[in-house]
Homo-oligomer: A and B are copies of this chain.
Amino acid sequence: MTNANLQVLLRRRPKGAPVPEDFEIVETAVPEPREGEVLIRHQYLSLDPYMRGRMAEAKSYAKPVELGAVMEGRAAGEVVASKAPGFAPGDIVAGGYGWQRYSCVKAAGLIKVDPKEAPLSANLGVLGMPGLTAWVGLEDIGMPKSGETVVVSAASGAVGQVVGQIAKIKGCKVIGIAGGPKKCQYVTEELGFDACIDHRGDLDAQLDAACPEGIDVYWENVGGPVQAAVFPRFRDFGRMVMCGVISQYNSVEGADSFGGAPGPNLGAVVRKRLRIEGFIVSDKGWPRYGQFRKEMLGWMADGRMTWREDVAEGLRNAPQAFIGLLEGKNFGKLVVKVD
């Protein structure tokens, strides 16, 4: 424990997959909160695929991180100084900012959390942005009905694990897709999905076996060959919830911000009356955070919502952990325990 503000900066924009040299680790002075702000000592930092987009210069839904600036991210920790009414040293909060040890943030963006309700890091996962993403995307786009078949890609990841468990609570048949037998085993045995497909195997054969009746809802986290295998299996009135296409994020940026191969022929969208819809949780999610949190805490208390974290130790390991996330090396919601 030191008094300096350890920070991870964006040193240069990656070409393709990020490498450690794209980041720079520096020690700087601990910032001073201004009027209305709170100084937070981070205990956990969330690492999420969307951050790859922020490292690129291309136009997207959010501004890129500037070169030389601290990497974007949400954190949770303890208030150490406050110039904002309602917050005092010792308060535990989610909403800290950036790949760093300390941040000063406006009180309006903070959520005071009760550490007895759930482990602090859960506020970055199942109770945080990824959990809210799952909840909002199902509520607004997927709309799974009891008896329907829901397929979830990146099923053991931060968002996927919540998506599948909510769909089970709603009475659906839920099929996960994950990489490797360990993740697949976790998805069925711990998360309670009905089956899990290993995307390193024969996707068509496994999908035929797991959902011969077809697919009503597909939660898209990955794109690429998984999308290509799922798409022809939609039933009439199927919904494709487009949350992410992580398989494309490391492609060298083209005109469309992420490159990528052609997608499915859309003729079936007419014939089967499909809906393909993308969303970003920050558009419409946060005003509903209270309702989401209440529902999730209820499911957690009932034992119907579990989760798994992959914890990287120390900020200096954040770049390598993030690089691994984009390669699917994490197993569960990836967080950094901030030293």
Contacts and interface: CB of A to CB of B under 8 A. Distances in A.
Q: For the complex formed by this chain, how many copies does it contain in all?
A: 2
A263 interface: yes
A277 interface: yes
A248 interface: yes
B269 A277 contact: yes
A272 B236 contact: no
Interface stretch (A67-75, A145-153, A237-245): A237-245
Contact of A266 (B236, B242, B271, B279): B242
A260 interface: yes
A254 to B, nearest CB: 9
Given A236-B61, A277-B276, A271 B258 contact: yes
A21 to B, nearest CB: 26
B267 A273 contact: no
Interface string A225-257: 001000010001000001111001000000111
Going nearest first, the 8 A-B pairs with the smallest beta carbon separation are: A262-B262, A269-B278, A260-B265, A270-B278, A276-B276, A275-B277, A258-B267, A263-B266
20 contacts: A61-B272, A61-B273, A220-B270, A223-B265, A223-B266, A227-B266, A242-B269, A244-B270, A257-B271, A258-B267, A259-B265, A262-B262, A262-B264, A266-B276, A270-B279, A273-B279, A274-B278, A275-B275, A275-B276, A275-B277
